Amino acid sequence: MTDETIKNTKSGNREPEILLQAENLSKEFDTGKKDSKIHAVSNVDLEIRRGETLALVGESGCGKSTLGRTLIKMLPATGGRVLFHGEDITAMSEKEFRSLRRKMQMIFQDPYASLDPRMTVRNIIAEPLVTYHVCSNKKETTARVLELMQAVGVPTEFLDRYPHQFSGGQRQRIGIARAIALNPELIVCDEPVSALDVSVQSQVLNLLKDLQQQYSLTYLFIGHDLSVINFIADRVCVMFLGSVCEIASKEEIYAKPMHPYTSFLLDAIPQADPHLRNEHRQVLTGEVPSPVHLPEGCFFHTRCPYATDRCRRERPTLRVVKGRQVACHRAGEVEL
């Protein structure tokens, strides 16, 4: 969060502003077969507060990226709605949404695939400026591009180079420059460091933090590396099979998870000390349900060691337990 948001929250002056809110949001994909759909996102409720970094975590294929794209209308929702500044963007036409599009941007996972190899850095960063007629002439556009390059740490003398002439870290910086070009309020960061060398990841993460302060940005940070999440997040939203398991502050999640799936995820973090690697480590067993044929009841019950008959029959709703949101019938009752 920004310093002002944290200060106001701690002092009790006011609740942090809700920038974006999802209500019962769902996204399905056709499989090409009759009456068969992939349930990528199922009835998700969440809030993103202005100035914070909300991390979205879960194993590969759980719907994190699909949810991120659906929240900013890069993919159309098939159910529920998304409110941005209280406005229902899911009901808007593309023409109506155009004025809000510039306020929501995305940083992609693969910095090479997300940049047009036929365009120079000048044109890549300038493209959103030209599309939205931000600058009045080419000179002003170039000046803004150079300003953005300096902000993300790309040497300005590389203005007319192509993406293949840069390293992975530099390409991701170019993608970040493009994302902040229109001064957005919300940026979806879709695993922005997972394709980078470990030595470069910390540089990009620190850059994202610096830019958040400088430009008053709000992040939805999608990731699977829990050490990265621990560094950058304010709050964490854990997903399993397209649904939300738990939402809490970073400190609460890492200190004492309430959902069994969250506990298993934390146990999977590699330990540097070989003597601690197998100590108290839980291993997930059971069958991973299909997103085409979702199980009855809790989606996690086929792998949960604490599942009861109620878990197999009734799907838990996201409820507040000890100050955090958890979708588990036994939250707070079972010691994980």
Output the pLDDT for position 171. 97
Instruction: Name the β-bridge partners of 18.
Output: 49
Q: How far apart are CA 151 and CA 290, in angstroms?
A: 44
Q: What is the pLDDT of residues 238-274, one digit of tens each?
A: 999 999 999 999 999 999 999 999 999 998 776 666 6
Q: What is the pLDDT of residues 78-100, one digit of tens each?
A: 999 999 999 999 999 999 999 99
- pTM (predicted TM-score): 0.92
Output the pLDDT for position 281. 63
Does the pLDDT of residue 67 top 70, yes or no? Answer: yes
Does the pLDDT of residue 56 top 80, yes or no? Answer: yes
- Dihedrals phi, psi of 103, to nearest 5 degrees: -85, -5
Does the pLDDT of residue 163 top 80, yes or no? Answer: yes
- Residue owning tokens 């599309």: 131
Does the pLDDT of residue 2 top 60, yes or no? Answer: no
Q: What is the pLDDT of residues 102-150, one digit of tens each?
A: 999 999 999 889 999 999 999 999 999 999 999 999 999 999 999 999 9
Alpha helices for the chain (secondary structure H) = 3-11, 64-71, 94-101, 121-131, 138-152, 168-180, 198-215, 226-232, 250-255, 260-267, 309-313
Task: Enumerate residues 6+ apart whose C-beta is below 8 A from 256.
Answer: 336
Q: What is the pLDDT of residues 214-234, one digit of tens each?
A: 999 999 999 989 999 999 999
Q: Amino acid letter at 44?
A: V
Q: What is the pLDDT of residues 3-46, one digit of tens each?
A: 444 444 444 556 789 999 999 999 999 988 888 899 999 999 99
User: Which two tokens mark 299?
Assistant: 């989606």
